[in-house]
């Protein structure tokens, strides 16, 4: 009996987190209201407070959801044949949603950039969204025998975040496609 009660509760909570992720990506944290999130999640506004006391609690849950997805992606890429192949697979994964990036920007980079202006702790929590792939890429470059592994990992993510910004600014997904191919050639040149 308990499972039947907790399943709808978890479903509603998960819908709220997904609604927060979507509306925050499309509108930004500051412009997004709890009502916007409730509407996206198809949940009555009054019910939101059963799961989350404040909008910041929803933002924190959205960040953790993104982090969980990043961890799962990075874990799935560990099956690659070589560090070089794994890095190129990461580039392909990052640039696969270029149409979405053209419209709204990178969901992780945009969120980190917006929250960086705050000093309430969400800024440092959000930083993990970019730290996770940088740390993972550093490990891959180190396995390739690169002594400059950290610098290369930062350069890789900086290049991706830069092209995500330009793709969004110019609303041109082809920019990201070209940068993806260039990054793959760059990774090959480092092997």
According to the model, what pLDDT value does residue 79 have?
85
d(CA 143, CA 111): 30
Helix axis angle, 83-95 to 149-170, nearest 10°: 20
Query: According to the model, what pLDDT value does residue 4 have?
Result: 43
pLDDT at res. 7: 55
Angstrom distance (rounded) from CA 134 to CA 149: 10
Domain boundary assignment for the chain: 54-190
Write down the pLDDT at residue 8. 61
Per-residue confidence (pLDDT) for residue 9, from 0 to 100? 64
Residue stretches of the chain with pLDDT short of 70:
1-9
Which residue in this structure is represented by tokens 């192949």?
A: 85
How confident is the model at residue 41, as a pLDDT?
97
Q: Has domain 54-190 been given CATH number 3.40.50.970?
A: no
The alpha carbon of residue 69 and the mean position of all alpha carbons in its chain are separated, in whole angstroms, by 8
Quote the crossing angle between the two packed helices 55-77 and 2-27, to the nearest 10°: 90
First to last CA, the chain: 56
């Amino acid at each position: 009996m308990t499972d039947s009660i907790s399943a709808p509760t978890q479903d509603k909570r998960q819908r709220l987190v997904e609604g927060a992720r979507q509306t925050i990506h499309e509108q930004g944290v500051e412009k997004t209201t709890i009502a916007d999130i409730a509407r996206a999640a198809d949940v009555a506004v009054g019910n939101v407070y059963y799961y989350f006391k404040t909008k910041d609690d929803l933002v924190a849950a959205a960040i953790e959801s993104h982090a969980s997805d990043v961890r799962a992606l990075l874990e799935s890429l560990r099956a690659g044949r070589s560090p070089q192949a794994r890095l190129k697979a990461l580039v392909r994964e990052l640039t696969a949603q270029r149409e979405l990036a053209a419209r709204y920007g990178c969901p992780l980079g945009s969120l980190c950039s917006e929250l960086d202006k705050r000093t309430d702790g969400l800024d440092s929590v959000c930083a993990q969204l970019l730290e996770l792939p940088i740390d993972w890429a550093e490990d891959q470059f180190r396995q390739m025998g690169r002594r400059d592994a950290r610098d290369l990992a930062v350069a890789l993510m900086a290049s991706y975040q830069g092209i995500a910004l330009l793709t969004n600014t110019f609303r041109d997904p082809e920019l990201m496609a070209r940068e993806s191919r260039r990054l793959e050639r760059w990774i090959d040149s480092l092997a």
